[in-house]
Structure 1
Amino acid sequence: MPHQPTVGILHPGSMGAAVAACAATNASSVLWCTAGRSPATIARAEQFGLTAVATLPELLDRSDIVLSLCPPAAAEDLARDVAEHGYTGVYVEANAINPQRTARIAELLGSTATVVDGGVIGSPPVGGKSPTLYLSGPTVAVTEVVALFAGTDVRTGILGAEIGNASALKLSYASFQKTSRVLVALSVGLAHEYGVDQELLHVAGRRSDSYLAEPEYIAKTAARAWRWGPEMEEIADTLEDAGLPPEMLRAAASTLARWNDAKDDTSLTLTDALTRLAQP
Structure 2
Amino acid sequence: MGAAVAACAAPNAAAVLWCETGRSTASVERAARFGLMPVATLTELLDRSDIVISLCPPAAAEDLARDAAGLRFAGVYVEANAISPERVQRIAGLLEPCATVVDGGVVGSPPVRGKTPTLYLSGPTAATERIEALFAGTAVQTAVLGAGIGKASALKLSYASFQKTSRVLVALAIGMAREHGVDQELIEVASKRTDSYLSEPQYVAKTAARAWRWGPELEEAADALAAAGLPPEMLRAAASTLARWHEVKDDSALTLTDALDRLAHP
- Identify the TM-score tier after normalising by the shorter chain: over 0.9
> Residues 1-280 of structure 1: matches in 2 within 5 Å?
15-280=1-266
TM-superposition CA deviations, 1:143-166 (whole Å, max 9, x none): 000000000000000000000000
CA apart distance, 1:25: 1.3
Residues 51-106 of structure 1 show CA distances to partners (whole Å, capped at 9, x for unaligned) of 01111100000000000000001100111111110000000000000000000000
Q: 1:244 Cα deviation (Å)?
A: 0.6
* 1:182-235 deviation per Cα after TM superposition (whole angstroms, max 9, x unaligned): 000000010011111000000000011110110110000000101000111101
In structure 1, C-alpha distance between the alignment counterparts of 2:13 and 2:224, rounded to whole Å: 34
Structure 1: tracts of 5 or more residues without a match? 1-14
Cα distance in 2 for residues equivalent to 1:43 and 1:53 = 14
- Which segments of 5 or more consecutive residues in structure 2 lack a partner in the other structure? none
- Identify the residue that residue 5 of structure 1 maps to in structure 2: none
Give the deviation of 1:279 after TM superposition: 1.5
State the alpha-carbon separation in 2 of the partners of residues 34 and 132 from structure 1: 26
- 1:225 is matched by which residue type in structure 2? A
Q: Secondary structure at the match of 2:142?
A: strand
State the TM-score, normalized to the length of structure 1.
Answer: 0.94
User: CA separation in 1, counterparts of 2:177 and 2:11?
Assistant: 48
Deviation of the 1:126 alpha carbon: 0.1
Structure 2: distance between partners of 1:140 and 1:200: 52
Aligned length: 266
Does the residue aligned with 1:258 lie in a helix, a strand or coil? helix
Scaled by the length of structure 2, what TM-score is found? 0.99
Distance 1:257 1:45 in 2: 27
SS of residue matched to 1:25 = helix
Q: Which amino acid aligns with 2:21?
A: A
Q: Quote how far apart the aligned CAs of 1:111 are.
A: 2.2
CA distance in structure 1 between the aligned counterparts of 2:204 and 2:153, rounded to whole angstroms: 26
- Output the CA distance in 1 between the equivalents of 2:97 and 2:252: 43
What one-letter code is carried by the residue in structure 2 that aligns with 1:261? Answer: E
Give % identity: 74
